[in-house]
């Protein structure tokens, strides 16, 4: 089982490493050592505030992003090592009142998934 410690904390204006450590410690206390902990940040975020020792650092991106650039490009991969995981592959976007419903065509999503899998990587929808 995987447990996400925090979601896109590097996008927030704070950089509180004690907060991240406390969340990690709470997860360990409640879930034990057999659960893999991870964090998620947008692939283009330069900050490393969303990382915490003892948790795998993953990235997220949408179907309009080239997975190779997300993981290996100039703005890419945050984790120095570990598996390639898109822990939040966007299948659409947020809907807001009085705006058009946001969708991604199934073919576009399938092509994005194919690119990820062809790299030997993993994803979460």
As annotated, the active-site residues are: 8, 88
Cα(91)–Cα(82) distance, rounded to whole angstroms? 24
- Contact (Cβ atoms closer than 8 angstroms) between residue 40 and residue 16: no
Cα(40)–Cα(91) distance, rounded to whole angstroms? 16
Cα(66)–Cα(57) distance, rounded to whole angstroms? 19
Residues in CB range of 38: below 8 A, 6 or more apart: 2, 3, 4, 5, 55, 56, 57, 58, 85, 87
């Amino acid at each position: 089982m995987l447990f996400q410690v925090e979601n896109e904390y590097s996008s927030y204006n704070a950089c509180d490493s004690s907060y991240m450590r406390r969340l990690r410690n709470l997860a360990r206390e409640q879930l034990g050592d057999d659960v893999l902990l991870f964090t998620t940040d947008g692939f283009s975020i330069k900050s490393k505030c969303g990382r915490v020792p003892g948790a795998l650092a993953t990235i997220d991106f949408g179907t309009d992003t080239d997975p190779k650039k997300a993981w290996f490009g100039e703005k890419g991969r945050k984790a120095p090592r570990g598996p390639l995981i898109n822990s939040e592959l966007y299948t659409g976007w947020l809907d807001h009142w009085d705006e058009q419903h946001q969708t991604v065509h199934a073919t576009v999503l399938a092509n994005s998934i194919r690119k990820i899998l062809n790299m030997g990587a993993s994803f979460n929808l």
